[in-house]
Copies of this chain bind each other. A is one copy, B any other.
Amino acid sequence: MGRIVQKFGGTSVANVECIKNAANKVLIEHNKGNQVIVVVSAMAGTTNQLINYIEQITDLYDPKEYDVIVSAGEQWNAGLMALALQNLGLNARSWLGWQIAIQTDQVHSKARILGVEIDAIEAALVNTEIVVVPGFQGVSNNRITTLGRGGSDLTAVALAGALNADRCDIFTDVDGIYTADPRLVSKAQKLGKITYEEMLEMASLGSKVLQTRSVELAMNYGVNLQVRSSFDDKPGTIVVSEEEIVEQQVVSGISQSKEESKITLLKIADKPGIAASIFGPLADASINVDMIVQNISEDGNTTDLTFTVSTTDLKNALEVLETRANNIGVGQIIADSNVVKISVVGIGMRSHAGIAQKMFMALADKGINIKVISTSEIKVSVLVAEEYGELAVRALHSAYGLDSN
C-alpha cells in the first residue's frame, strides 16, 4: 500500500466535468490500494475574477482581506471534489487550511508554510478516507493566509513531505517536462526523469510547469514529484534526486525566457562599492536582477555594467536608476526589452567540458549574435535578440543531440 498526493491545477478542475474526470483518477489510485490526498486549485479563471473585484475597489489592498477573498475559489472546489469522489462511492472529506491546520508565517498573500499538523488527516487516511485539501491556503494567528503564485503546488509538496507520501503527482495541462518547448521544437522529447536541480533551473528560466518554490520544497523533503497530464493516463516526468538517475544526460533541455530585459550602464566609475550602490536600490524596490556582466575596465577609470531584470520591472528599474544616476556616476543608461534568454541545462554538465563552447559554435553557425553570457554549475545562458530566439532553441536542441528520430 502506498500513499499518493494528487494535485489538480486550474485547467484540470476548470468546470464540473473536469472535476469528475479528476475524481476518476483518484478512484484509480484508491483502487490500487493506495491512500490518496487530493489537492485542488480554483477553477481556471476564478482567482483572476476575485482579484478583479479587489482591483475595482482599491490598488493598495490589505493582504489579510485579499487572502479571505482569493482563498474562496479553492475552498469551493475542494467541496466539489469531495462530492465528486463521494459520488464514485468513495469516503471523501474536504479539509481547509485552517482545519488541518497548515500553519504559515504571517506574511499574508505570500505566506510560507511553517508546518502541517498531520494527526487528524493521518487518522482519516488510515481510515481509508480520501483527504481533499484546497491548495494555496494556510492559517496564521487564526486568519486565512495564501501562499502566493504556484501556491497549490506548494500545498501538495508540503503535504507529501509531512505525510511521507511515496509520490506527489502534479496534474496539469501538459504531460511532462520536455527537452524544449514542444510548441517551438517539433522534435522535442518528453523526459522520463529530471533532477530537482535541473528542474529548478528550468523553472527559474521560464518553463512554467512548476514554480521554483515547489521544486525547492520537494528537494528539501525528498518528495518524488511527477508532472503529468490530467487529460490522459500516460506517465509524465518524474522529478527526483540525482542519485536516482543512473545514466545522466549531459544536457537535459533547452529553455527560453522572453520575460527579460537588458539594462546597460555605460561609463560608470570603476571603484569598490559601485555594484552595491546600483543593486542596493534595486533590491530595495523589490526588483530581482538576474544575469550580471561587468567587463574589465579599459581605461582603469570607468567600466560598463550589463544586467537583466524582468520586463515587468523594467520601467520601475529605470526610474530607480535615473534618480540615482548622479550619485552612481553613470554616463548613459541603455535599456533593451527586445531580447530573449536561451539556456542549456544539464546536471551532467559538471563532468563534461566543452558544453558552453558547443553552444557558442551552434549559435555562430546560424549567425546569431550573443549579447550576454552567464553560467552556473549546471546551465549556460545567453541573451540574444528576440527575433533569433526560436531559431536558437531549435539549433541548440539539434546540436546537443536532443532531437527525436
In the complex, chain B residues whose CB is within 8 Å of the CB of A58: 83, 86-87
A324 at the interface (CB under 8 A from B): no
Task: Tell whether, in the assembled complex, residue B99 and residue A84 are in contact, meaning their CB atoms are under 8 Å apart.
Answer: no
Shortest distance in angstroms between A143's beta carbon and chain B's nearest beta carbon? 7
Interface residues of A in 64-90 (CB under 8 A from B): 64-73, 75-76, 78-80, 82-84, 86-87
Contact A65 B50 (CB under 8 A): no
**Known A68-B75, A99-B142; contact A80-B53, beta-carbon cutoff 8 A:** yes
Residue of B nearest to A142 (CB): B99
A71 to B83, CA, bound (A): 15
Determine if A76 and B53 form an interchain contact, defined as CB atoms under 8 angstroms apart. yes
A195 close to B (CB within 8 Å): no
Given known pairs A68-B76, A75-B75, A76-B69, the reply for A87 and B16 (CB within 8 Å) is no
A94 at interface by CB-CB < 8 Å: yes
Q: Output the nearest chain B residue to A75 by Cβ-Cβ distance.
A: B72
Residue among B65, B79, B80, B94 making CB contact with A79, cutoff 8 Å? B65
Interface residue? A54 (CB, 8 A): yes
Report the interface size class on chain A: 35 or more
**Inter-subunit contact A57/B19 (CB<8 Å):** yes
A10 shortest CB reach to chain B, Å: 15
Report if A388 contacts B (CB, 8 A): no
Interface residues of A in 87-124 (CB under 8 A from B): 87, 93-94, 96, 98-99
Q: Cα distance A56–B68 when bound, in Å? A: 26
Select which of B16, B65, B96, B143 is within 8 A of A99 by beta carbon.
Answer: B143
Kindly state whether residue A20 has any CB partner on chain B within 8 Å: yes
CB distance from A46 to the nearest CB of B (A): 10
In the complex, which of the residues B16, B53, B61, B82 contacts A56, with contact meaning CB atoms closer than 8 Å? B16
Question: Does A232 have its Cβ within 8 Å of any Cβ on chain B?
Answer: no
- Taking CB atoms, residues of chain B closer than 8 Å to A98 are 98
Cα of A79 to Cα of B66 in the assembled complex, Å: 7
For A79, the chain B residues whose CB sits under 8 A away are 65-69
A62 in contact (CB, < 8 A): yes
Identify which of residues 296-322 in chain A touch chain B, using a CB-to-CB cut-off of 8 Å: none
Q: Is the CB of A16 within 8 A of B68?
A: no
Minimum CB distance partner of A98 in chain B: B98
Interface string of A206-245 (1 = CB under 8 A from B): 0000000000000000000000000000000000000000
Alpha-carbon separation in the docked complex, A139 to B204 (Å): 42
Known contacts being A16-B56, A57-B19, A98-B98, is A76 close to B80, with CB within 8 Å?
no
Binary per-residue interface labels of chain A (336-369) against chain B in the complex, 1 for a CB within 8 Å, 0 otherwise: 0000000000000000000000000000000000
Q: Complex Cα distance A192/B235, Å?
A: 70
Partner of A87, one of B57, B71, B83, B142: B57
Cβ B99 vs Cβ A83 within 8 A: no
* Cβ of A376 to closest chain B Cβ, rounded Å: 41
Tell me whether A83 and B96 are in contact in the complex, defined as CB-CB below 8 angstroms, given that A69-B76, A72-B72 are known contacts. no
Shortest Cβ distance from residue A42 to the other chain B in the assembled complex, whole angstroms? 10
Q: How far is the CA of A1 from the CA of B221 in the complex (A)?
A: 56
Cβ-defined contact, B62 with A86, below 8 A: yes
Task: State how many angstroms separate the Cβ of A127 from the closest Cβ of chain B.
Answer: 16
* Interface residues in chain A, defined as those with a beta carbon under 8 Å from any beta carbon in chain B: 16, 19-20, 50, 53-54, 56-58, 61-62, 64-73, 75-76, 78-80, 82-84, 86-87, 93-94, 96, 98-99, 142-144
- Known interface pairs A54-B80, A70-B76; 10 further A-B residue pairs with C-beta atoms within 8 A, sorted by A's residue number: A53-B80, A57-B84, A65-B82, A65-B83, A68-B79, A68-B82, A68-B94, A72-B72, A75-B75, A96-B144
